[in-house]
């Protein structure tokens, strides 16, 4: 019976990656000397299932590698070896290595085994170095695993073997599949024909099997007849392994030799360009499936049930004659339908929501590695890990966050000496905090380091021509400058940060998710980066507005207020820009009909409405003819069948089936020509003009 195993590959990879994540998390919790048995067990189990799975699917490179890892873990688990910091480091490295191996295999490429082999040698050194009697066996077993052994198998079935439904011939042919088989049969016990009971088994056998398989594979074959036969398996002229773990490696037979031959061929070519293949594969390794809790699925099923009931009720009503009573119940039914639909929508959206711990979980490792590299002492605090976030948002959030955390560690936190000198706790703290606020998720990255150096930023900005020497900026405005392109203040370019691709990329990435990022900093106390993101990218709350006969949608999240214009507070700046003085601020008025080139809109300011919106810390007023309703809209792509349209972030379908376009505020500001590289420019300019007049 042959099953196409490839259909399970994806599941295997996913489970393995999860297992690796678990291993990594637990390894980071391990403190040598005070390790917790349960933690080690978790790591062991994860390693064990990866080994088992990869064996089954014929990824022998992974299976072999995991085997040595597992052997070490097993010894630690049994207490026959003490855990050292070196072990933890090595295990962490192997987690990385395994992840890389699995990624290449997932991408159906030949894995680069150089690193795995190096690590394996190290493991074998550890295992072999302190060669106690028992450990030698296991270490040697790991080595002898791939070489050929000859086993002598004595198989003497009891007379009633056939009655239990077992057929020795099958077992023998299975044995033959494992390797080279020599068979002797003994017929001494066969009685003469008169006494012969035809349903009994009188034969016995002796086999010599030469195979590269483990003894356990042989044992597996005889598993069912253990109680119905005398079986002895002995290794001829070799090592006696006392194997306690049975990995299903029978499938690996054909693929194993091919892959084992690989390292020798691959080694010389890949050494020089080792990072390349890994990078190529990580790009497309974005997972395409999600795990959904059974409770979420159950609640969905409930809801669909209710929906079906409502539908049945409505269709029943539809068949009746329309009277006043039916109209009442029809309305009731429709209300229920609306309710059901909304619940269903919310719950379907919840399926895409995952706790942010998926992103957070990679940071303990990152912080550990970087702090070792920088020789700083850092404590990482994670708060609000259960905060849920849309999966697509989450995937794109991870890179900007890594960047911010690295920055905090590299630039924010001081070295131990400096911290002690400043009277601070020598151990710096980086805190990641996530929470919901309104329709947003807010993620804060806080450090208690030195804070942003405003004078240095200012100096640099002047040098780069971003601001002029005469500009007077508040500290906050100066801090904002770090988000401009080509800005990096690191004293020296380090491996970690300071390559000039920096905060502007972070800001761009986050804005691509229609979010925002801000920084607050106090010298000597620390800095806080705040990322704000919409919970989901698929649905937004929108304000419908009318411009001439066109309906547009403004994301509710960016609207600050809507008002009627007090014409006395409007001043004209430059050629054709009107600015409204609203409390202490000057709000430039964007005439949407101009920007969108629509005819027939109301042009006189006091007859229209102004929707004040904010994007990138820039407030602008959008002139609209009328405010219509507010509603949740499902975002549809315009690019799918058309192309990107400036000033429009997407489209949606309204209740009456018409298409309406969603306004992209920051795109609009760009389109209007207001946006200069430094968003402050415009405000400052207009202020200056006003004061002059």
Contacting positions for another protein (CB under 8 A): 550, 595-598, 636-638, 640-643, 645-648, 651, 653, 657-661
Per DSSP bridges, beta strands 550-555 and 659-663 are parallel
Q: Establish how many alpha carbons lie within 13 A of residue 550's alpha carbon, considering only the half-sphere containing its beta carbon.
A: 18
Nearer to another protein, 234 or 594 (CB): 594
Nearer to another protein, 230 or 646 (CB): 646
Per DSSP bridges, beta strands 648-653 and 659-663 are antiparallel
Nearer to another protein, 666 or 680 (CB): 666
Closest distance of CB 596 from another protein, Å: 3
Cite the beta strand spans of 457-558 per DSSP E.
Answer: 516-522, 526-534, 539-547, 550-555
Strand order of the sheet with strand 526-534?
A: 378-383, 428-437, 440-447, 526-534, 516-522
- Sign, CA torsion 454/458/464/465: positive
Q: How far apart are CA 601 and CA 607, in angstroms?
A: 11
Closest distance of CB 593 from another protein, Å: 9
Which residue in the block uniquely carries the two structure tokens 């050494």? 271
Closest distance of CB 663 from another protein, Å: 10
Closest distance of CB 656 from another protein, Å: 10
**3 state SS of 345:** helix
- Sign, CA torsion 412/417/422/425: positive
Closest distance of CB 662 from another protein, Å: 11
Q: Which candidate in 340, 407, 433, 479 is catalytic?
A: 407
Nearer to another protein, 529 or 596 (CB): 596
- Sign, CA torsion 667/672/678/682: negative
Q: How far apart are CA 254 and CA 177, in angstroms?
A: 11
Distances (CA, A) of 290 to 184, 301, 305: 55, 18, 24
Q: How far apart are CA 430 and CA 69, in angstroms?
A: 32
Closest CA to 612 of 603, 629, 624: 624
For the chain, what's the residue count? 693
Nearer to another protein, 416 or 548 (CB): 548
Q: Which candidate in 24, 26, 48, 479 is catalytic?
A: 48
Q: How far apart are CA 96 and CA 116, in angstroms?
A: 10
Closest distance of CB 548 from another protein, Å: 10
Nearer to another protein, 284 or 637 (CB): 637
Nearer to another protein, 470 or 643 (CB): 643
Tokens of 77: 């688990």
Output DSSP code: residue 601.
-
Closest distance of CB 546 from another protein, Å: 13
Closest distance of CB 598 from another protein, Å: 7
Q: Is 237 exposed, middle or buried (0-12, 13-18, 19+ CB in 10 A)?
A: exposed
Residue 214 · residue 248 · CB < 8 Å: no
Closest CA to 569 of 554, 552, 587, 555: 587
Please say if 67 is a catalytic residue. no
Nearer to another protein, 288 or 599 (CB): 599
Q: Which candidate in 24, 26, 70, 477 is catalytic?
A: 70
Which residue in the block uniquely carries the two structure tokens 């690796």? 20
Active site residues: 48, 70, 407
């Amino acid at each position: 019976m042959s099953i196409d195993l490839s259909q399970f590959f994806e599941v295997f990879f996913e489970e393995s990656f999860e297992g690796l994540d678990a291993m990594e998390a637990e390894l980071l919790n391990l403190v040598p000397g005070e390790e917790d048995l349960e933690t080690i067990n978790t790591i062991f189990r994860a390693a064990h299932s990866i080994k088992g799975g990869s064996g089954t699917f014929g990824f022998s490179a992974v299976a072999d590698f995991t085997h040595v890892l597992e052997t070490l873990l097993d010894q630690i688990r049994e207490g026959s070896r003490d855990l050292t910091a070196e072990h933890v480091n090595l295990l962490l490295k192997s987690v990385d290595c395994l992840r890389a191996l699995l990624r290449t295999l997932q991408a159906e490429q030949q894995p680069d085994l150089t690193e795995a082999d190096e690590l394996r040698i190290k493991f074998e050194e550890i295992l072999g170095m302190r060669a106690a009697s028992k450990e030698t066996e296991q270490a040697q077993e790991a080595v002898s695993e791939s070489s050929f052994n000859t086993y002598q198998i004595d198989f003497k079935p009891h007379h009633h073997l056939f009655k239990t439904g077992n057929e020795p011939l099958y077992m023998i042919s299975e044995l033959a599949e494992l390797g080279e088989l020599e068979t002797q049969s003994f017929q001494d016990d066969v009685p003469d024909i008169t006494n012969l009971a035809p349903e009994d088994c009188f034969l016995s056998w002796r086999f010599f099997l030469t195979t590269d398989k483990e003894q356990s594979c042989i044992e597996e074959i005889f598993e069912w007849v253990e109680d119905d036969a005398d079986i002895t398996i002995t290794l001829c002229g070799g090592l006696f392994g006392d194997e306690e773990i049975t990995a299903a490696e029978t499938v690996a037979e054909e693929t194993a030799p091919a892959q084992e031959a690989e390292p020798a061929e691959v080694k010389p070519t890949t050494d020089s360009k080792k990072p390349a293949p890994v990078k190529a594969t990580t790009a497309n390794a974005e997972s395409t499936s999600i795990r959904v809790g059974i409770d979420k699925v159950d609640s969905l099923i409930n809801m669909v049930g209710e929906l079906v009931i409502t539908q049945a009720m409505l269709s029943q009503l539809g068949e009746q004659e329309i009277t006043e009573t039916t109209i009442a119940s029809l309305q009731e039914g429709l209300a229920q339908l609306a309710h059901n639909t909304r619940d269903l929508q919310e719950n379907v959206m919840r399926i895409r929501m995952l706790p942010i711990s998926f992103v957070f979980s990679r940071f303990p490792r990152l912080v550990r590695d970087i702090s070792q590299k920088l020789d700083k002492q850092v404590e990482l605090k994670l708060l609000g890990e259960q905060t849920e976030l849309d999966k697509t948002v989450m995937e794109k959030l991870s890179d900007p966050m890594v960047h911010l955390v690295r920055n905090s560690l590299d630039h924010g936190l001081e070295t131990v000496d400096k911290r002690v000198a400043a009277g601070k706790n020598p151990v710096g703290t980086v805190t990641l905090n996530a929470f919901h606020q309104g329709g947003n998720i807010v993620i804060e990255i806080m450090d208690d380091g030195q804070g942003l150096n405003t004078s240095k930023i200012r100096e640099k900005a002047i040098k780069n021509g971003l601001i002029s020497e005469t500009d007077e900026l508040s500290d906050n405005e100066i801090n904002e400058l770090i988000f401009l392109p080509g800005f990096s203040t690191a004293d020296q370019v380090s491996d970690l940060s300071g390559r000039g691709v920096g905060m502007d990329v972070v800001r761009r990435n986050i804005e691509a998710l229609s979010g925002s990022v801000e920084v607050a900093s106090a010298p000597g106390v620390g800095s806080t980066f705040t990322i704000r993101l919409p919970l989901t990218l698929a649905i937004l709350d929108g304000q419908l507005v009318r411009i001439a006969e066109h309906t547009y949608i403004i994301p509710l999240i960016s609207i600050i207020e809507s008002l009627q214009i007090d014409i006395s507070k409007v001043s004209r700046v430059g050629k054709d820009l009107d600015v409204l003085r609203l409390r202490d601020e000057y709000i430039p008025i964007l005439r949407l009909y101009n920007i969108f080139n629509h005819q027939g809109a109301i042009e006189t300011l006091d007859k229209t409405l102004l929707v004040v919106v904010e994007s990138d810390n820039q407030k602008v007023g959008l002139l609209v003819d009328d405010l219509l309703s507010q509603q949740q809209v499902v975002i549809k792509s315009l690019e799918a069948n058309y192309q990107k349209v400036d000033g429009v972030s997407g489209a949606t379908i309204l209740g009456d089936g018409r298409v309406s376009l969603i306004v992209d505020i920051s795109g609009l500001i760009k389109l209007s020509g207001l946006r200069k590289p430094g968003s402050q420019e415009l405000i400052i300019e207009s202020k200056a003009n006003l004061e002059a007049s």
